[in-house]
Amino acid sequence: MSRVSVFAPASVANISCGFDVLGVCLDNVGDILHIEEVSKSGIEITEIIGQDLPLKATQNVAGVAGLALLADYGHNKGFQIQIEKGIKPGSGIGSSSASAAGAVVGINHLLGNPYTREQLIAFAMEGERVACGTAHADNVSPVLLGGFTLVRSVNPLDVVTLNSPLELVFTIIHPEIEVKTADARAVLLDKLHLKQAVAQTANLGALVTGLFKEDYELIRRSLVDHIVEPVRSMLIPGFNELKNRANEAGALGTGISGSGPSVFALSKGMDTAQKVGLAMQEVYDEIGVPYNTHISPINAKGVKIL
């Protein structure tokens, strides 16, 4: 076996109250990577279809993640990677994480799976470092493990898989502008008020509990962000109106997807998620912002070997 194709899904990080710690894997939007073992050692990115991204392995998230795995594994192995980008970079639904996670799952598969999915997180995080300057794990963890995950610590790496109620559906609206994660991180304040930290911790604990108890009202009450949303929402056209209309249409909660500009709404059931999508689209139609939308149940498995 010397060639494999993988589907690497998009993800939503932060989920309102879990900045840099919570994430969830989406189902029907993602990148496809074709990976082949070759005799020349190292990683070569042969082609990127759909987006203009660096081909040089040391500048490409999939290349960097793959090289991190190979540096640990040894044995002078080599792989070529072709990437079909289904996720737009800078859209806020884990574009770099999908490519990084897809690369390490595919290479690991061709090596005979020497690493567990949990162990692959550390390699995929190196891809995040090259993408935005910080090796955060809140997108790569759900993409590798599936469902909702919580990153308790990145050093040492400690990731917890949470319960993923089957009825939850995400509606994502992406205003067609690009916000680089590095820029969206640069606007954040370094210091917090104790009251903000207390409120955020309370909501995060309650949201995790709501997921485990499948208590949708508790999930609704907990989807509040006192720290990041007030600052970053200024980068997103019509954010407050999107949020109000999505929640009026029945969403449990609405917030910024990762570092934005995509906005997520979380709903119970597909019908509500679709109504919420229409309500959000109306907002952008009214103010003339071009957009695309995705409606996705939760993907409990993560990256898939095709």
Q: What is the CA radius of gyration of the chain?
A: 19
Q: Return the residue of 34, 77, 117, 136 that touches ligand HSE, per CB under 6 A.
A: 136
The verdict on 91 binding ligand HSE (CB under 6 A) reads no
The verdict on 20 binding ligand HSE (CB under 6 A) reads yes
Distance CA 113, CA 295 (A): 32
Q: Which of 79, 210, 64, 80 is nearest to 125 (CA)?
A: 64
The verdict on 14 binding ligand HSE (CB under 6 A) reads yes
The verdict on 13 binding ligand HSE (CB under 6 A) reads yes
**Smallest gap, in angstroms, from Cβ of residue 106 to ligand HSE?**
22
Q: Is residue 135 classed as helix, strand or coil in its secondary structure?
A: coil
Would you list the DSSP string of 61-95? Answer: HHHHHHHHHHHHH-TT-EEEEEEE--S-TTSSS-H
The verdict on 149 binding ligand HSE (CB under 6 A) reads no
Q: Which positions ≥6 away from 41 have C-beta within 8 Å? A: 70, 76, 77, 78
Q: Residue written as tokens 């993800």?
A: 11
**Smallest gap, in angstroms, from Cβ of residue 140 to ligand HSE?**
10
**Smallest gap, in angstroms, from Cβ of residue 2 to ligand HSE?**
33
| Greatest Cα-to-Cα distance within the chain, rounded to the nearest angstrom | 58
The verdict on 258 binding ligand HSE (CB under 6 A) reads yes
The verdict on 180 binding ligand HSE (CB under 6 A) reads no
* Rounded to 5°, angle at Cα 180 from 300 and 123: 50
Q: Do residues 81 and 44 touch, judged by C-beta distance below 8 A?
A: yes
Nearer to ligand HSE, 79 or 264 (CB): 264
Nearer to ligand HSE, 67 or 100 (CB): 100
Nearer to ligand HSE, 185 or 304 (CB): 185
For the annotated catalytic residues, the residue numbers are 128, 181
Question: Quick one: CA torsion of 261, 202, 10, 95, rounded to 10 degrees?
Answer: 50
The verdict on 185 binding ligand HSE (CB under 6 A) reads yes
**Smallest gap, in angstroms, from Cβ of residue 23 to ligand HSE?**
8
**Smallest gap, in angstroms, from Cβ of residue 186 to ligand HSE?**
10
For ligand HSE, the binding residues (CB under 6 A) are 13-14, 19-20, 136, 138-139, 181, 184-185, 258-259
